[in-house]
Amino acid sequence: MRPIFTLPLAALLLTGTACTTMPVATGEPSMVAPILTSADAVDTLSYAQPQVARVTHVALDLALDFAGKSLGGTAVLDIAARDDAEAIVLDSNGLRIDSVTDGAGNALDYEIGAMVAEGGKGAPLTIRMGDARQVRIAYRAAENAEALQWLSPAQTAGGEHPYLFSQGQAILNRTWIPTQDSPGIRQTWEARITAPKPLTVVMSGIAQGAPEDLGNGRRAFRFEMDKSVPPYLIAIAAGDIEFRALSDRTGVWSEPSMLDAAAAEVADTERMVVAAEKLYGPYRWGRYDMIVLPPAFPYGGMENPVMTFLTPTFIAGDKSLNGLVAHELAHSWSGNLVTNAVWADSWLNEGVTSYFENRILEELYGKERAEQEAALAFANIEDTLAEVGNAPGTALYQPENVDPVGSAIIYDKGAYFLRTMESIVGRERFDAWLESWFDRHAFEPATSAMMLADIRANLVRGDAALEKRLMLDEWVYGPGLPGNVARPAAGAFAEVDAAVAAYPASGPVASARWASWNSAERQRYLRGLPQEIDAAGLAAMDRSLGLTQGTNNEELFLWLNLALANRYDAVVPRTETFLANVGRRKFVAPLFATLMGEGEWGRPIARRIYARTRPSYHAVTTGTVDRIVNGS
């Protein structure tokens, strides 16, 4: 536990780029990030009132209960507050509060407000702390709290031991940690976690020594994150897992049976870190480790600091899908180092990261692969705009009253905004600005308005002609694609596009040609095929290319989705196997949506499969698929 410190009001309300440093027990500086107070930085998804009182540090002491599918213990919060502040408001969703005391053990009054179930906002936890600037909360998370996925042994690769992992983004961590759950309220943290033997615990912090044997069939694991992070990045996993070092500062965890394949797939990680540092400055988090989770993990990856969480669906055997690793690594600068203050500005995390990812791929694998990946991203944008037009949700900035239209905007359009700026000002000048942006706002929250102001101050520098060419406001606040967009190279997929154009007259592409293509080219081909293909055509394609038995999950998903949309019975068994072994929402939700869209043919199949597979999915996935299959 570190000592209590009280910050002055000026540090609490700081809105500039400087930070206030405070000593911690280790003697290392710990940055207390500023709180942004502009109207566009107010987080309506949190009950917190950080301008009055804010959490600066969280110390967890928790026991994992696999039988009860819950965890409980204590959270000790260090608080910075105005002199006249008498209460602090935290976020809570389903937490059972047993007691609240101050640092000296004196009981404090508290109140849990009305629950807002919609959107997972939960309820405010108001603690009347008086003069105290440290509070201790004894609590227990609800069974099956939404952030936590408890897997039975049968749901793991090894089949012998249970497994736990968390997913906190965007506002799920309030289901297992009582804190101010807002990306704009950065906090340092530490944790002591006990788990039954022989399970191993990892977290998104640096492990502190070897596990402690408690002599009761349990072990204690300790972690520390001495850099302030948004609370959604506090993450945990526990199971029968082993570690493989990749370099002095990188490594990978997974279940033993997957470790060789996982290590081979991420073997280029150290090269990626070096490439990223060459582009935009030093990696500031110490270690960069990864854990390949069981298939129930709902996302491709989650950029938890020092412990990126990865889906096993990216393991293709040939590193063709390791752009995922480059993406999550890039978040160590864009997203973790500089973080969107509110979720309306998610593109500051994901769009900047997607651009950065492409630059890492170019450094490692060459311009051709980078251009192909960029072309696939541009096709995502075009597909979205073709479907929804210039809807308000196609702007990068997406306030609460705007309906989002999918990842193609905040990821891909965001990346193309930066790509366009690079094309206009030149790569050398653009790179110097982007690295300086990371430096100026390291370990701080940011907004779209802040980034635009920074571009104008440090890149445009009063050049009216350049300002006009960049079309900054149109990119961030306007719908659709501005006219200055730097489109991908026209010839990136010339051979593939020719093969698509030749179908069906010339039949499917020759198997030898297919085998020579990389995964980006294969995905381009599958996406470009006509949406309506009869059973004979699908069968011929499958015989030639072996699509149904494919092991690259991106390609397999595209094939299954196309075949199901044409009511091709032959792929139903493979679809059922796929959905039973993959929990990634990107794949699961569209396949169920396609089946449900096929009326009397597809709906019984969808409902039969979902009744079997739903228990294996994370709440993030079921929250989407429930609406698709059950209309709820």
* Number of neighbouring beta carbons within 10 Å of residue 107: 9
In eight-state DSSP terms, residue 51 is T
Angle between helices 269-280 and 427-440 (to 10 degrees): 90
Q: Catalytic pick from 411, 416, 610, 617?
A: 411
Q: What CA–CA distances, in Å, run from 24 to 29, 82, 83, 203, 422?
A: 7, 21, 22, 20, 41
435 catalytically annotated? no
Q: Catalytic pick from 328, 422, 444, 555?
A: 328
**What is the C-alpha separation between 622 and 583, in angstroms, rounded?**
9
The DSSP element (H or E) to which 309 belongs, if any, is: strand 307-310
The DSSP element (H or E) to which 401 belongs, if any, is: none
**What is the C-alpha separation between 408 and 402, in angstroms, rounded?**
16
- The contacts found for 285-288 with CB under 8 angstroms, 24 or more apart, are 285/227, 285/332, 285/336, 286/206, 286/249, 287/206, 287/249, 287/250, 287/251, 288/249, 288/250, 288/329, 288/332
Scanning 441-516, the segments in alpha helix (DSSP H) are 448-455, 464-470, 472-477, 494-501, 511-516
Phi first, then psi, for residue 58 (nearest 5°) are -125, 130
**What is the C-alpha separation between 68 and 508, in angstroms, rounded?**
53
Chain length of the chain:
632
Phi first, then psi, for residue 239 (nearest 5°) are 175, -165
283 catalytically annotated? no
Show the 3-state SS of 320-373: CCCHHHHHHHHCCCECCCEEECCHHHCHHHHHHHHHHHHHHHHHHHCHHHHHHH
Contact 605, 595 (CB under 8 A): yes
Q: Return the closest-CA partner of residue 341 out of 349, 352, 333, 330.
A: 349
**What is the C-alpha separation between 218 and 194, in angstroms, rounded?**
6
- Residues tagged active-site: 328, 411
